[in-house]
Amino acid sequence: MSRRILHIDMDAFFASVETALNPVLRGKPIIVGGNADDARSVVSSASYEARRYGVRSAMPIAQARRLCPEGIFIPCSHGIYGEVSRRIEAILETVTPFIQMASIDEANLDITGSIHLFKNEGALAVHVKKSIEEQEHITATVGIASNKMVAKIAANTCKPDGYLSIDTGMERAFLAPLSVEVLPGVGPNTRESLESRGIMTVRQVLETPEPLLAGLMGSHGARCLLDAAMGMGSDTIETRQMPKSISRETTFSKDEMDWAKFEPVLFRLAEQCAYALRSEGLETSRVTLKVRYSDFQTKTFATSLPEPTALDSTLLRALRELISKGRGRRARVRLIGVNLSVLSYNQHQMELFNREREEKWERTMRSVDAVRDKLGFGSVGLGSALGKNTKDNRSSRQKKNRDSSK
């Protein structure tokens, strides 16, 4: 039996939350983005009124100011958006336990077994949209289809405050007249090369011989594109509970006092935490260093980050500061650990990686993680964690922790 997947996407999420908090902003061009004084900041979210001026996500703030001088510019309040996201997740949980948050403001739900609780799937969609609007004062768009990809495309075609359901079996007919760029994997470059061959619509993709597509984008890319054009996609919902924190710690086989030895071990633990964080699609806003001394006294040193991150480089920088505090006490150390807390779902990618250097890091981390996924964490060590003393770590006990307690 075919499944029914509901894709929900909040409309102009950050801008809508700001408006819900401050209703006098309603109907105004709201532009939410990083730090207003920072020339490199980019737009994270723009209200539909601001979009009329041509303002878009990921556009530099300076450019948005030129396009929309009367716009109201608001810095990001990541903590608040994360809270609203969690409350929305709780609303979705009233419909089905099969929920996969795709980002801070998007989710996929398997509603196959829940439709009978409502009159039909349309009534279910209205219930979800209404509950969010009543409780959070923001609007959402819902698409329903037999798989995640088609449900998301359906939602994207009826934003904002929309609802569209594609009957099972009608996926191909629904996609055929749409522009090729609706398909996953078709970015500006692929679109351009397809359009240069006169392939503008999904229907035209299906009419193109596969070898010709393979010539443009490789045989794997062509196969994926054809599958997508036919409306084939995954209907698997990977449910998970957001952990409260992610931590790694190490107990030394004998108590140690030399902080020069601890540093590479701590960096390694931080990298392991960050890897776990990224594989769960999360970011952290708080880094804690834990030190247990030989007298079993435990001290923690914590710092809050200005914005959520999943980048090793940012976490190691924060940790370095904490280490300089931690080494203050002249005592032998039994155990050291790193803890990442105040977790949230991945926020807007461009906003997070708006600095060129971080973008480079993000690319590196993605390829490092891919290798680690295949060969295990130890297959790749980054420079910062490679100290000559890391072998001490091997003789010690290590503990992984994913704290899911509510």
Q: Which residues form the interface with Mg ion (CB under 5 A)?
A: 9-10, 13, 105
DSSP codes of every residue in 155-215: HHTT-SS-EEE--TT-HHHHHTTSBGGGSTT--HHHHHHHHHTT--BHHHHHHS-HHHHHH
The values of phi and psi at residue 233, to 5°, are -160, 175
By annotation, the residues acting in catalysis are 106
- Please identify, using beta-carbon distances, which residue of 8 and 25 lies nearer to Mg ion: 8
- Please identify, using beta-carbon distances, which residue of 56 and 317 lies nearer to Mg ion: 56
Q: Distance between CA atoms of 315 and 89, rounded to whole angstroms? A: 27
Q: Is 97 in contact with 112 (CB distance < 8 Å)?
A: no
Q: Distance between CA atoms of 18 and 49, rounded to whole angstroms? A: 14
- Please identify, using beta-carbon distances, which residue of 102 and 242 lies nearer to Mg ion: 102
Question: Please, what is the minimum distance in Å from the beta carbon of residue 93 to Mg ion?
Answer: 19
Question: Please, what is the minimum distance in Å from the beta carbon of residue 105 to Mg ion?
Answer: 4
Among all chains, which residue has been given the structure tokens 């990541």?
78
Question: Please, what is the minimum distance in Å from the beta carbon of residue 380 to Mg ion?
Answer: 33
Question: Please, what is the minimum distance in Å from the beta carbon of residue 353 to Mg ion?
Answer: 18
- Please identify, using beta-carbon distances, which residue of 10 and 99 lies nearer to Mg ion: 10
- Please identify, using beta-carbon distances, which residue of 102 and 232 lies nearer to Mg ion: 102
Question: Please, what is the minimum distance in Å from the beta carbon of residue 10 to Mg ion?
Answer: 5
Long-range contacts (CB closer than 8 Å, 24 or more residues apart) made by 326-329: 326/259, 326/289, 326/291, 326/299, 326/301, 327/259, 329/291, 329/293, 329/299
Q: Is 61 in contact with 41 (CB distance < 8 Å)?
A: yes
Phi-psi region of 49 (alpha: psi -120 to 50; beta: other; left: phi over 0): alpha
Give CA separation, 137 vs 20, 101, 130, 132, 281, in Å: 6, 20, 9, 7, 26
Question: Please, what is the minimum distance in Å from the beta carbon of residue 13 to Mg ion?
Answer: 5
- Please identify, using beta-carbon distances, which residue of 9 and 121 lies nearer to Mg ion: 9
Give CA separation, 80 vs 17, 20, 74, 161, 308, in Å: 8, 12, 13, 22, 12
Which residue(s) pair with 286 in the sheet? Answer: 304, 341
